[in-house]
Amino acid sequence: MFSSPFPNLMKPLKVKDLIFKNRIMSAPNMLFHTVDGRPTDFYISYLEHKARGGAALVTLGEVAVCDGGNHTPWTRWTRDNLPLYAEMAAAVHEHGALAAVELTHGGQNARPEFNTVPVKGPVETVNHMGVKVLAMDESDMAHVADSYADAAAYFYRAGFDAVLVHAAHGWIFNQFLSPLINKRTDRYGGSLENRMRFPLMVLERIRERIGPARVLMLRLSGTEREENGYTVDDIITFLSKAQAYVDLAEISSDGLTNMMASTYRPLGLNVPFAEAIKKSGKVRIPIFSIGSILYPEQAEAIIASGRADGVSLSRALIADPFWVKKASEGRPDGITPCLRCLNCTDSDNLSRHFVCSVNPYIGREARIGFADTMTKANVRKRVLVVGGGPAGLTAAVTAARRGHEVTLCEKSGALGGMLRFADTDSLKHDLRRYKDYLVRRACEMNVRILLNTEADDALVAQYRPEAIIVATGSRPVTPPVRGIDRARHAADVYFKPGSIGGENIVIIGGGLVGVETGLHLKNIGKNVTVLEMREEYAPEAGFCYRAGLMRTVEELGLRVITGAAAREVTDAGVTYEKDGKLFNAAGDTVLYAAGMTPYDAPYFDLYDKAPAVYLAGDCKRVGKVDGAVHSGFFAAMDIGML
């Protein structure tokens, strides 16, 4: 008899007539994949992928309940779109999962460009976008409550099993609950009892519309995480009332860097709030926790200890939708780790083109058939991969899985490329797990690995490759600063630690590499100054990730000077110019991080040594992990197609 290594995580849960086959919900994300308000095939296939991977319940991302409530492009739940949502629910059901939809209203944070009526919230104000917000009156509140009820009824009609009301992350429920925002003087403001009145009215209106048998869920922030904001005790009081209408609560928290936690934030950062609610004795409904729950062992411990009844996973199931199946089968080492790089969220917000750094396939399901990624290539070929960084490892693993005979040569004595820096970085634990995963997968896939080996003519003659993937990475750019020969590249911190002397470090270059190296050095006790000539540091970082980066810079006290152009490296540090004046940043060691340039010379040596030769990773275009992984994956996928 099979004994699950995660018995509590895989234990079914019955909520009314719905059976959750395990304690894992796939949280809503990929919020923007609609065209003219209609969900696309990409959206439907993406949710189906989550269901195929084994989650008990899969949730369609935020759907605004009415005009005036949109903070993203409107997902229109109109009669003519009903068949599309019915197909979405059916796609989830076909893989044994329950289908849910998250309903929301932006309140004072709704965006005018996505609405045709004025933005309204609890009070008259000007929001963080500079938009004038009108105060809602009772007729506005009644309209919003009716809209929630109408939307819930619509999605149940489309075949969805449950509705999740989004009462977290700063939307309209939070705004009414928050004593910092809700300064009303009528019966909807002031005391907690009054501030709860509108949210409870909405929940009651939904329950009246859908009847007693349907499952209604609630996503809540366990705390406002602000001085004088609402507390977990307030949420316990609210839930003790709300449980008359809702059947399950999922606990998150407010604040961008908490609800979208970067790699610098702790794992399971919202679990203490779920635990406090469960152990209060006042809340009887199941409590799920969400927020940086990445590993089955972690999730199992949360449930086994009674801190929550279940977990909601967002980015972990983007990185690997088969997280649940792999865990249930006792294969947790086979789960692709999430980097918490927030590329998924930042790409979704920026361009509505959903991108995961470590999963090239996710979001492409409608264009690349699932079977295409899993089946063998039409023609088995001998493949030589040159370079053992993330691009080369991804290419090798993908080609081997497709049935090719793969040889990977790496000129150094270890695999991982530049990601090997994470072995000694004091903060990049998520990236280190991913690097180790890639190396492990290459070994598991029986890739022939040749270390301390360059791809010269003799090697090519020996292995006679029919396809070559060149993934030789990049080289540092040396900035044109007088005395730069006295400085070392930032990578030496990790690869040549003995060369970094003294307690005072100056880093020339405040892009991601410079700032993140500075954070590591500061975290291990060094005094660090980062000089960036631009007016902001790490501008290449996405919005959400940069918010987390800035928070960590502040918490660790890393000194970053922007608008500072390095002029000379001296024995005493760096002379730099800012606002037309010269200053000196004292340093025992000076580092530079002024960008990278593709190392593509091997490609020009190899381009005619096989019928098909591909470029992948930084030697093609310098970028971050996503560029390396994606280019390696797709290069390998193209081999043996015909």
Over the chain (642 residues), the average pLDDT of each successive run of 10 is 88 98 92 80 92 97 91 87 96 98 95 93 93 96 98 98 95 96 97 98 98 97 92 97 98 86 94 97 98 97 98 97 96 96 81 85 84 79 98 97 97 97 97 98 96 96 97 97 97 94 96 98 98 96 93 98 98 97 97 97 96 97 96 94 73
Per the domain annotation, does 23 fall within a domain?
yes
pTM of the model: 0.95
Joined together, the tokens standing for residue 256 give: 């961008």
Asked if residue 321 and residue 191 are part of one domain, the reply reads yes
CATH number at residue 385: 3.40.50.720
CA distances from 193 to 139, 187, 222, 249, 490 (A): 20, 9, 17, 20, 55
Asked if residue 199 and residue 69 are part of one domain, the reply reads yes
Asked if residue 433 and residue 301 are part of one domain, the reply reads no
At 244 the pLDDT is 98
Domain count, the chain: 3
Q: Please give the Cα distance from 269 to 256 (Å, whole number).
A: 13
Residue located via tokens 């000007």? 126
Asked if residue 37 and residue 81 are part of one domain, the reply reads yes
At 257 the pLDDT is 82
Q: Please give the Cα distance from 345 to 165 (Å, whole number).
A: 21
CA distances from 502 to 494, 507, 528, 589, 627 (A): 15, 14, 11, 7, 36
What residues does 589 pair with on adjacent strands? 505
Which amino acid is residue 299, in one-letter code? Answer: A
Per the domain annotation, does 2 fall within a domain?
no
Asked if residue 488 and residue 449 are part of one domain, the reply reads no
Q: Please give the Cα distance from 92 to 555 (Å, whole number).
A: 42
Exposed/middle/buried for 344, CB within 10 Å: 0-12, 13-18, 19+? buried
Q: Please give the Cα distance from 385 to 387 (Å, whole number).
A: 6
Per the domain annotation, does 358 fall within a domain?
no
CATH number at residue 521: 3.50.50.60
Is residue 153 within 8 A of residue 207, CB to CB? The reply is no
- 397-431 as b/e, with b when 16 or more CB fall inside 10 Å? bbbbbbebbbbbbbeeeebbbbbbbbeebebbebb
Asked if residue 322 and residue 208 are part of one domain, the reply reads yes
Q: Please give the Cα distance from 507 to 574 (Å, whole number).
A: 9
At 349 the pLDDT is 65
DSSP string, 380-448: --EEEEE--SHHHHHHHHHHHHTT-EEEEEESSSSSSGGGGGGGT-SS-HHHHHHHHHHHHHHHHTT-E
What residues does 560 pair with on adjacent strands? 530
Kindly give, in sequence order, each residue whose CB lies less than 8 Å from that of residue 211, ignoring residues fewer than 6 positions away: none
637: nearest Cα among 278, 395, 416: 395
At 403 the pLDDT is 95
Per the domain annotation, does 539 fall within a domain?
yes
Torsion of Cα atoms, 581 then 586 then 590 then 592, to 10°:
-30
In sign, the C-alpha dihedral spanning 413, 414, 415, 418 is negative
| Residues recorded for the chain | 642
3-state secondary structure of 360: coil
Per the domain annotation, does 5 fall within a domain?
no
At 368 the pLDDT is 83
Q: Please give the Cα distance from 597 to 603 (Å, whole number).
A: 14
CATH number at residue 307: 3.20.20.70
Asked if residue 501 and residue 446 are part of one domain, the reply reads no
633: nearest Cα among 617, 611, 609, 612: 617
CA distances from 594 to 419, 479, 539 (A): 18, 6, 13
For 130-278, where are the alpha helices, taking DSSP H only? 138-157, 172-177, 192-195, 197-210, 232-242, 256-259, 271-278
Residue located via tokens 């009415």? 66
> Residue 496 CA to chain centroid, in angstroms?
31
Torsion of Cα atoms, 270 then 273 then 275 then 281, to 10°:
-160
Joined together, the tokens standing for residue 343 give: 């590329």
What residues does 221 pair with on adjacent strands? 252
Asked if residue 300 and residue 430 are part of one domain, the reply reads no
At 74 the pLDDT is 81
3-state secondary structure of 592: strand
> φ, ψ for residue 98 (rounded to 5)?
-90, 150
Is residue 223 within 8 A of residue 235, CB to CB? The reply is yes
Provide the 8-state DSSP code for 333. G
At 37 the pLDDT is 85
Q: Please give the Cα distance from 4 to 299 (Å, whole number).
A: 14
Kindly give, in sequence order, each residue whose CB lies less than 8 Å from that of residue 436, ignoring residues fewer than 6 positions away: none
Asked if residue 268 and residue 213 are part of one domain, the reply reads yes
50: nearest Cα among 28, 33, 31, 26: 26
Asked if residue 166 and residue 35 are part of one domain, the reply reads yes
At 354 the pLDDT is 81
Per the domain annotation, does 359 fall within a domain?
no
Q: What count of other Cβ atoms lies within 10 Å of the Cβ of residue 325?
A: 16
Q: Please give the Cα distance from 32 to 39 (Å, whole number).
A: 9
Exposed/middle/buried for 270, CB within 10 Å: 0-12, 13-18, 19+? buried
Is residue 305 within 8 A of residue 15, CB to CB? The reply is no
Q: Please give the Cα distance from 51 to 36 (Å, whole number).
A: 26
What residues does 288 pair with on adjacent strands? 250, 310
Per the domain annotation, does 69 fall within a domain?
yes
> Residue 59 CA to chain centroid, in angstroms?
16
Q: Which domain holds residue 205?
A: 13-351
> Residue 255 CA to chain centroid, in angstroms?
16
Q: Please give the Cα distance from 241 to 304 (Å, whole number).
A: 27
Is residue 491 within 8 A of residue 476, CB to CB? The reply is yes
Asked if residue 306 and residue 179 are part of one domain, the reply reads yes
Asked if residue 250 and residue 111 are part of one domain, the reply reads yes
Per the domain annotation, does 8 fall within a domain?
no
